Amino acid sequence: MRGVVGIYLLLPTVSGGYLKPSRIVIIGLDSPIAYRVYEYSKKGFLPNLAKLMEEGVHAVNFLNSYPTVTPQNWTSIATGANIGTHGVTGFGVHLPGEDLTELRSAFDSSLCRAEVIWSVVEEAGGNSIVVNWPCSWPPTFKRGWQIGGYGLSMNEWRRGRILYEADLCDGQLFTTLDLPHSVKIVFRKASGWRNIPSHVDALEAEVKPMYSACVRNGERGLELAKVRGPSPWYLLVLDYGEGFTELVVSWEKDYEKALCRLREGEWSPVIIREFETVDGRAKGAFRYKLVELSRDASRVRLFITPICSLSYSTYPKELVEEIIKINPLAFPSHIVYDGLGWGWFDEKTFLELVEMEHKWFSDIIVYLMKTRDWRLVAVHMHAPDWFYHYAVQPEKIDPSNPKYVGEEKAKKLISLEIEFYKVIDKAIGEIVEAAGSEALIVVVSDHGAKPKIYGINIAQVLAEAGLLVFKDDGSIDYSKSKAIPGWEGPWIYVNLREKFSHGTVSLEEYEEVREAVVNALLGYIDPKTGLRPFLFALRKEDARLLGLYGPRIGDIVYALRPEYGSHHGQLPTAEVGIGSLKGLLIVRGPGVKKGYTLKRTVRAVDIVPTICYLTGLRAPRNAEGAVIYQALEGFPDEEIEEDKVFRVQKKFFKKEYWGEESFKVKS
């Protein structure tokens, strides 16, 4: 008993023992592969994160909530509550009483049933700055300032109609080449232009801009776009005697009224113009880059960034008028990562765009920190998620994966990965510096990333068991199916007549159907691999141990082996190839140990209770996590025996790590 008392006497207390942090900064990174970021930091590539690790604690067993998906986990981190408690179950939320064909977008903050930390700060008389935190719009507080929260990047809405809706317009590419989702350029002899320099050869093209809300979604993206004009745009390429070396963009055939004049590799300045939209005329900010211009004009790539609205939603409403003067390029950045994957631009241009994206974050947040009286800053940066989904998929750099691109190409992609993280590290450094040394800094992720290896069609598994029926067009026939996969999460719904208008199963049959679903999942063997893809299939009531419960969860909860499924979504312990879904967590500030590697299991719901303990705030009323005592000064270091940490990837990491110096990315 004496030993136990001794431990508790060492614990720091809110009333004394350390200087309480005066301010809190939570920096959220979406989907970084934690061990890679830690290694790059230790090697000196990421000096700002390295300094935070040296002055604080980093966790190697940080487990996010299951499923490891964005909306659920950022909500768990902000509330300290399990998914079953806060009710944000996925990108879509199924509400009881509605059919399975109906889903609400999770980016509506009213769907969250748990209190968030900025509400606690408000109750304590403090102000919060909340920037781009998923599922937080409309704002739920009065004291403070909020930008975004209705999508995953700025000027982007997640309404559930398509992947995302850019406001005003997504990025686009004009090109002579055959590239995905681009606008084709066809040059002809220039005619009818005014003020062209004398004694030059000139070719022109008339192009119809692709005003799209989401280029990836094709025709549907065009239908939902706000911008309708002007159209067409005019391009002019000029030959001053050594081939075509200059490209002009104009909304009319007048060289002197050009929007920009560019040579290969050049960016335009930020351009602000009025556009015709479905809601009337609206101003937008954008830039051009002439990625490529061959001397014979046969190869041209002209990239246009997303057209950024200058009247996007903020709280207070008039805040937007202030921040666009600091940096107007708040663009929906999904297209940056798509564009690299589609061959729209080279690695150098990609990194320049990533720099613009994160410069906006650091510019605006530092400005607000310097001009406002604040207690909490919470910001989310989604870039790593899109990097691994669309730009450099982990399978390409994983020597054990069938899609491995080979040593030479992998070396270049790993170089790009390092340079990518350098940009983020720079933005983090600027925010941390502005916060001051007495601030509590928490850098945290919602999940990691892993390579794709095998796919699986859950509906097909159920169909083979006689539990689901397809229509002739391949869609699910709800009127004839007994069990239906949940789109929003890793669960199966029993198609009860008492719950759904399309129901086919009676209450008396409910347990029989649930048992059949469990048997179908656990008994399934992938004919292509000989593996059983499903690790477990639990009745809903047994899934409470995972934090999944309540009326917004399906009737059977399952999990896939790490080899199956997308780049994340599996169990937070999933590790395969070079990938790991373990989260990233670095904490630095008063009351926190210095230079300590935390090995104990930490969960997403533990972040806010620990912040509140250190700062003297009460925990949010629905918080279910625990204080991470082992990270705090005065608490004994851990004595944990474990076989390996990040057990799978280390053997790959040395092979693919190509030296002490960062590689220069070649365009």
pLDDT for residue 658 is more than 90: no
pLDDT for residue 14 is more than 90: no
C-alpha–C-alpha distance, residues 465 and 473, integer Å: 20
**Could you tell me the sign of the dihedral formed by the alpha carbons of 198, 200, 203, 209, in that order?**
negative
> SS3 string of 394-462?
HHHHCCCCCCCCCHHHHHHHHHHHHHHHHHHHHHHHHHHHHHCCCEEEEEEECCCECCCCECCCHHHHH
C-alpha–C-alpha distance, residues 514 and 503, integer Å: 15
State mean pLDDT over 243-271: 98
- The pLDDT, as a whole number, for residue 16 is 46
Taking CA atoms, 282 is separated from 309, 312, 345, 508, in Å, by 8, 11, 28, 58
- The pLDDT, as a whole number, for residue 13 is 45
Contact 162, 214 (CB under 8 A): yes
pTM for the whole structure:
0.94
- Mean pLDDT, the chain, whole residue set: 93
Please enumerate in sequence order all residues whose Cβ is within 8 A of that of 512, keeping only pairs 6 or more positions apart, or say none: none
- The pLDDT, as a whole number, for residue 639 is 76
Tell me 266's DSSP state: P
C-alpha–C-alpha distance, residues 327 and 437, integer Å: 26
Looking at residue 425, its amino acid is D
pLDDT for residue 648 is more than 90: no
- The pLDDT, as a whole number, for residue 340 is 98
pLDDT for residue 657 is more than 60: no
C-alpha–C-alpha distance, residues 105 and 231, integer Å: 33
Report residue 321 as tokens: 């008028």
Three-state SS at 640: coil
pLDDT tens digits, 270-324:
999 999 999 999 999 999 999 999 999 999 999 999 999 999 999 999 999 999 9
C-alpha–C-alpha distance, residues 371 and 122, integer Å: 18
pLDDT tens digits, 44-91:
999 999 999 999 999 999 999 999 999 999 999 999 999 999 999 999
Taking CA atoms, 544 is separated from 343, 427, 548, in Å, by 45, 39, 5
C-alpha–C-alpha distance, residues 312 and 212, integer Å: 17
Query: pLDDT band at 171, cuts 50/70/90?
Result: very high
- Pairing mode of beta strands 307-309, 168-169: antiparallel
DSSP string of 17-83, one letter each residue: SSPPPSEEEEEEESS--HHHHHHHHHTTS-HHHHHHHHHSEEES-EEPPSS--HHHHHHHHHH---H
CA angle 606, 611, 612 (to 5 degrees): 100
pLDDT for residue 98 is more than 80: yes
Radius of gyration over alpha carbons of the chain, in Å?
A: 26
Contact 413, 397 (CB under 8 A): yes
Contact 99, 504 (CB under 8 A): no
Report residue 304 as tokens: 């246009």
pLDDT tens digits, 117-140:
999 999 999 999 999 999 999 999
Contact 415, 665 (CB under 8 A): yes
DSSP string of 205-234, one letter each residue: EEE-----S-GGGHHHHHHT-SEEES--EE
